[in-house]
Homo-oligomer: A and B are copies of this chain.
Amino acid sequence: MALIVQKFGGTSVGDPEKIKNVAKRVLKNKKEGNQVVVILSAMSGETNRLTDFAMAMQDIPDSREMDVLLSSGEQVTISLFAMAMKALGDDCVSFLGDQVKILTDSSHTKARIESIDTESIMEVLNDDKVVVVAGFQGVDSDGNITTLGRGGSDTTAVALAAVLNADVCEIFTDVEGIYTADPNICNKARKIDRISYDEMLELASLGAKVLDIRSVTFAKQYHVPIHVRSTFTDTEGTWVVEEEKAMEGRIVSGVTYNKSEARITISGVPDQPGIATKIFTPISNANIIVDMIIQNQDTGNGMTDMTFTVLRSDYERTLKILGSVVESTEATGGIHSSDAITKISIVGVGMRNHSGIASTMFSVLANEGINISMISTSEIKVSCIINEKYTELAVRALHDAFELDKDNMAEEETLV
């Protein structure tokens, strides 16, 4: 008998019929002899409906009350799901975040889980019933409702799998797993069978939308195997697991892109100590997160260029702030910027043992006539900022160049 945590997202529980289908699926897993804990998101569309209400009330809705509001969404789906299980002749008990209880800090709309009581869940499981828990929500030590932020239901699922010592945390979604590239723009994209936590973390932070980055961090920390798979089929999806020897045979695991950033360059700033502080302190004070930062080497005239990226949603605000900053830094070259950029990245643990990956990437892009305006690397990824209009072309060219359509993970075995 295994203990399985299964998380279903908003599209999987988007209407009563879909909730019934999820119940059937869960019952099948239970009848196979497993204990099942189900985590549900709000129905797709519900969070938007509620957010629209909130925006009609207050320009910047109060975060404590926003959590009270949004947490009602999962409350609806878990109760309906429990009814659906009972209608199938099984038994099921629903738990809200504060009933479990999922204790978090008090950072409303982006709370962090501090602890989870497992007693009531285990009691219900040992009664041979299914447990359904509201994703995304918790409670702080004062009894206030909190929410975990975007992708919070994934975090709830992985955290519960960790404390329950579950055999697997299954994340059900509307795609079949993690792909080597976005299948919508690259028809050679291949579903990845197994991927390491570190690779998944890079992919998630670089734009892959299937798994939330915090849930992967949690899974890595607590050694929770995640199985990302489709709600609508029975086929195996992608396992996100500890790094395995065979994974190293694969130099690049995936190509991903992110269109949510904008690039800003301040030219001709004096190359002297403290210049970065002068530029970035006012930006950070405005709660704007800066992603990539590149400062060019002073080429002899005592001047340098500072280039960085911010979220597109912060683009206009950042430019406004920089207006006064540029004056105080006595920058001579003015500001050059664009919000029509893409960050395109290749990720793979195999990079650690292989050289020349970055230069291959650069030459592939050059061969397609694509100019690179910024570069950033880590141990297992290379990212380039390019003009947004080349996104699809770049993804396909890199996918071809690194032969991602072939499952080269097992090459060590097959080459013996």
Question: A16 on the interface (CB 8 Å rule)?
Answer: yes
Which stretch in A33-41, A91-99, A168-176 binds the other chain? A91-99
Indicate if the CB atoms of B71 and A57 lie closer than 8 Å. Answer: no
Indicate if the CB atoms of A58 and B72 lie closer than 8 Å. Answer: no
Find the B residue at minimum CB distance from A88.
Answer: B58
Contact of A78 among B68, B73, B84 (CB under 8 A): B68
Main DSSP-derived SS at the A contact region: helix
Indicate if the CB atoms of A19 and B79 lie closer than 8 Å. Answer: no
- CB-CB contacts of A54-88 with B at 8 A, as 1s and 0s? 10111101101110110111011011101110110
Indicate if the CB atoms of A57 and B99 lie closer than 8 Å. Answer: no
Residues of B contacting A72 in the complex (Cβ-Cβ under 8 angstroms): 72-73, 75-76
Residues of B contacting A143 in the complex (Cβ-Cβ under 8 angstroms): 99
Indicate if the CB atoms of B50 and A65 lie closer than 8 Å. Answer: no
Contact of A61 among B76, B83, B96, B144 (CB under 8 A): B83
Indicate if the CB atoms of A57 and B80 lie closer than 8 Å. Answer: yes
Question: A53 on the interface (CB 8 Å rule)?
Answer: yes
Residues of B contacting A30 in the complex (Cβ-Cβ under 8 angstroms): none
Task: State how many angstroms separate the Cβ of A56 from the closest Cβ of chain B.
Answer: 4
Question: A20 on the interface (CB 8 Å rule)?
Answer: yes
Find the B residue at minimum CB distance from A134.
Answer: B68
Q: In whole angstroms, what is the CA distance A83 to B53 when docked?
A: 10
Indicate if the CB atoms of A68 and B58 lie closer than 8 Å. Answer: no
Copies in the complex: 2
Known: A62-B83, A65-B94, A82-B62. A76 touches B50 (CB 8 A): yes
Indicate if the CB atoms of B53 and A80 lie closer than 8 Å. Answer: yes
Indicate if the CB atoms of B79 and A68 lie closer than 8 Å. Answer: yes
Indicate if the CB atoms of B75 and A87 lie closer than 8 Å. Answer: no
Q: In whole angstroms, what is the CA distance A71 to B84 when docked?
A: 18
Find the B residue at minimum CB distance from A68.
Answer: B79
Task: State how many angstroms separate the Cβ of A36 from the closest Cβ of chain B.
Answer: 17
Among A16, A68, A94: residue with most chain B CB under 10 A = A68
Contact of A66 among B61, B69, B79 (CB under 8 A): B79
Indicate if the CB atoms of A16 and B56 lie closer than 8 Å. Answer: yes
Known: A75-B75, A99-B143, A143-B99. A54 touches B83 (CB 8 A): yes
Q: In whole angstroms, what is the CA distance A87 to B66 when docked?
A: 13
Q: In whole angstroms, what is the CA distance A65 to B75 when docked?
A: 10
**A:248-284 near B, CB below 8 Å:** none
Task: State how many angstroms separate the Cβ of A78 from the closest Cβ of chain B.
Answer: 7
Task: State how many angstroms separate the Cβ of A76 from the closest Cβ of chain B.
Answer: 5
Indicate if the CB atoms of B87 and A58 lie closer than 8 Å. Answer: yes
Residues of B contacting A65 in the complex (Cβ-Cβ under 8 angstroms): 79-80, 82-83, 86, 94
Indicate if the CB atoms of A86 and B68 lie closer than 8 Å. Answer: no
Known: A57-B16, A98-B98. A79 touches B83 (CB 8 A): no
A residues apposed to B, CB below 8 Å: 16-17, 19-20, 50, 53-54, 56-59, 61-62, 64-66, 68-69, 71-73, 75-76, 78-80, 82-84, 86-87, 93-94, 96, 98-99, 143-145
Beyond known contacts A16-B57, A57-B80, A57-B84: 6 more, CB 8 A cutoff: A54-B79, A68-B75, A69-B79, A72-B76, A75-B75, A99-B144
Q: Provide 11 A-B residue pairs closer than 8 Å at the C-beta atoms, listed in order of the A residue.
A: A17-B56, A19-B57, A54-B80, A58-B83, A58-B86, A59-B87, A65-B83, A68-B75, A68-B79, A69-B79, A71-B75
